[in-house]
Structure 1
């Protein structure tokens, strides 16, 4: 995993996005191992923004630092275009979704690099079965204390962010019944999900030390929480999202994450109280978001009631509206939200193709075409 860079500054002033993509054959749309391409990425021969991933059927991109919504869109379009070009040069295509509709982990080969080989030694079958891709958003923060304060306050909002990104309804050749099956598959690891409240930077360090002692992680760079402080950058990293097939949805997710950091950091600075629902209820909200996305009801972990997904998304927008308006981004973000709610997530569109054709190959082809057509 490569990371976008950042420099200390006001919370939420910078943002960078990492996206992971599957590699597929352009004719059959089956997973296509490309060890030469991935090896070139690992040797940094494809530029600063295209990187290797854990298997030879994956690539990762990283945008670098962005400061405005316009910069973010340009950077995401640029990294996707670079990855497309690199893949085309190796005779493969990108499939921009968190799971391949029909392929499974048995068709993958671990990238022969020390980092990934060490992951297999530590986590064994969990790492070997890592046939999913994700989208990670780094948002700048001035220090670890701010990062922890944001983590504690963001917990209740993470399920809504997840619901807007589902792109993994199929896994290993079957319909899972979830919009983000990646969330459930990823949840098998012992250090994923929404973290418990931390309270302070010292408490965060103590938790990391405990996990290192237990052997769960080598260091903080291997924390796979839905939201974590970066171990080497002045950022918090949102790691909960599926890969967004449509560029607009990726821009929206990054914009919401950055705004949430700005709003929550300001509330922490004012020492405002915040809700801390039971972890069991947060897990339920996360599960509901992974299952239904924005197609049904979401679970409010604070009120402990089901709410219409549109209502939950609009409530989040209302909390961020002043911040987005101050930056001149509110109209665009509202438009992106309405468009997503109108057409559904990538998972919805994939299922529509499946219902129409009954052909998972055509589902994979539709993902490839959509990802290729917008860059």
Structure 2
């Protein structure tokens, strides 16, 4: 499973908040920040749903080192562009206290269409995620790899959980972004598919009945990309740090590689019901790494670190084949030791009692490693 095998490329998309450094509130300054950042990186920097958000899109990468270089370059460019406009950039799944009702939807056709169709859901969509694309060596296997990978998404969510606060309150969740997002049609874990034709047939039917406007509006936590020959992971919050984003990208690719090899060998896998996956994702969003999570393959509830170790054991051969084992396993162990983004945000609030201090912490963590 080396990186020069067909497919198994990597791409990553990150969504960021724009912050007013005086109030620490969200700032609807996307137009100014975008124009400055795009002057450096072009279409790698994109608008997002709200004018207080921007998105970065990496080029196609072959290695984790490539992903890291891209993330460093993009975060640095956005931070510099925001600073030139008197603003800051923050990587968190939710803003700790800004209210959705003070935000403006970006005047772009796609986003205005979402507002027209989904109304209040769109207005309340003040959340941010990280999407990882993994190239498929043979897109004809896409549904089969999806069927296998889907049972390993909850530990990825627990590791990346980075949205504990909502509208100035502790939500009680490690990833409240997940709960906001789960209200949307066609969100959450994907179902099982008997064939690639069944996958595309369902999406065609959803468009035909008006359930979605087009195939890009299938918002499952894992889906076959409509634009690229990739499997797209959409389950995770945006990570506080570049290190954590690299960790998620490495685990995602190793999962695809491992499941591709198992599909070629005909290795049996668990036929996990979609509602069981939803329950496992709910626990990961609720508790992060602090309580027991569900191993849906074994039908067990086990301590979160143990489930993460099972994930590492499952993908270790793929990580070793790419030369990524040392880096990714060390990054995972650091998160288990120091806490995910949600735990670290909470620690700041518990120490200071100040939501503005939490925003300052997020801004600082967003910039970590860009020098």
Superposition TM-score, scaled by structure 2 size: 0.95
Using the TM superposition, give the Cα deviation of residue 71 of structure 1 relative to its aligned residue in structure 2, in angstroms: 1.3
Of residues 4, 7, 10 in structure 1, which corresponds to 2:6?
10
- The equivalent of 2:90 in structure 1 is 95
Corresponding position: 1:341 with 2:347: no
- The equivalent of 2:111 in structure 1 is 116
- The equivalent of 2:209 in structure 1 is 214
Contact 1:145 / 1:200 at 8 angstroms: preserved in 2? no
- The equivalent of 1:175 in structure 2 is 170
1: CA distance between counterparts of 2:41 and 2:6? 32
- The equivalent of 1:125 in structure 2 is 120
- The equivalent of 1:246 in structure 2 is 241
Contact 1:35 / 1:56 at 8 angstroms: preserved in 2? yes
2: CA distance between counterparts of 1:323 and 1:49? 29
Using the TM superposition, give the Cα deviation of residue 272 of structure 1 relative to its aligned residue in structure 2, in angstroms: 2.0
2: CA distance between counterparts of 1:113 and 1:17? 22
Contact 1:38 / 1:51 at 8 angstroms: preserved in 2? no
Contact 1:50 / 1:82 at 8 angstroms: preserved in 2? no
Using the TM superposition, give the Cα deviation of residue 130 of structure 1 relative to its aligned residue in structure 2, in angstroms: 0.8
Q: How does 1:1-375 map to 2 (within 5 A)?
A: 10-12=6-8, 14-37=9-32, 40=35, 47-375=42-370
Using the TM superposition, give the Cα deviation of residue 9 of structure 1 relative to its aligned residue in structure 2, in angstroms: 6.8
Contact 1:167 / 1:345 at 8 angstroms: preserved in 2? yes
Between 1:97-106 and 1:117-126, the stretch displaced more is 117-126
Secondary structure of the 1:240 match is strand
Aligned residues between the structures: 367
Structure 2 unaligned residues grouped into runs of 5+: none
Contact 1:16 / 1:72 at 8 angstroms: preserved in 2? yes
Contact 1:63 / 1:76 at 8 angstroms: preserved in 2? yes
2: CA distance between counterparts of 1:94 and 1:171? 18
Summarize the Cα distance change of 1:39–1:79 in structure 2 as closer, same or farther, 3 Å threshold: closer
Contact 2:33 / 2:78 at 8 angstroms: preserved in 1? no
Secondary structure of the 1:139 match is strand
Using the TM superposition, give the Cα deviation of residue 141 of structure 1 relative to its aligned residue in structure 2, in angstroms: 0.8
Using the TM superposition, give the Cα deviation of residue 271 of structure 1 relative to its aligned residue in structure 2, in angstroms: 2.3
Secondary structure of the 1:260 match is helix
2: CA distance between counterparts of 1:41 and 1:159? 37
Question: How large is the Cα RMSD of the aligned pairs?
Answer: 1.8
1: CA distance between counterparts of 2:38 and 2:341? 32
1: CA distance between counterparts of 2:288 and 2:219? 21
Contact 1:98 / 1:134 at 8 angstroms: preserved in 2? yes
2: CA distance between counterparts of 1:74 and 1:349? 25
- The equivalent of 1:5 in structure 2 is none
Using the TM superposition, give the Cα deviation of residue 302 of structure 1 relative to its aligned residue in structure 2, in angstroms: 2.9
Secondary structure of the 2:43 match is coil
Using the TM superposition, give the Cα deviation of residue 199 of structure 1 relative to its aligned residue in structure 2, in angstroms: 2.0
Q: Deviations over 1:236-260 (max 9, x none)?
A: 1100100100111110000000111
2: CA distance between counterparts of 1:279 and 1:171? 27
Between 1:137-146 and 1:352-361, the stretch displaced more is 137-146
Using the TM superposition, give the Cα deviation of residue 27 of structure 1 relative to its aligned residue in structure 2, in angstroms: 2.0
2: CA distance between counterparts of 1:289 and 1:105? 25
Secondary structure of the 2:231 match is strand
Using the TM superposition, give the Cα deviation of residue 309 of structure 1 relative to its aligned residue in structure 2, in angstroms: 1.0
Secondary structure of the 1:164 match is helix
Contact 1:165 / 1:241 at 8 angstroms: preserved in 2? yes
Using the TM superposition, give the Cα deviation of residue 305 of structure 1 relative to its aligned residue in structure 2, in angstroms: 2.2
Structure 1 unaligned residues grouped into runs of 5+: 1-7
Using the TM superposition, give the Cα deviation of residue 374 of structure 1 relative to its aligned residue in structure 2, in angstroms: 2.6
Using the TM superposition, give the Cα deviation of residue 354 of structure 1 relative to its aligned residue in structure 2, in angstroms: 0.9
Summarize the Cα distance change of 1:86–1:285 in structure 2 as closer, same or farther, 3 Å threshold: same
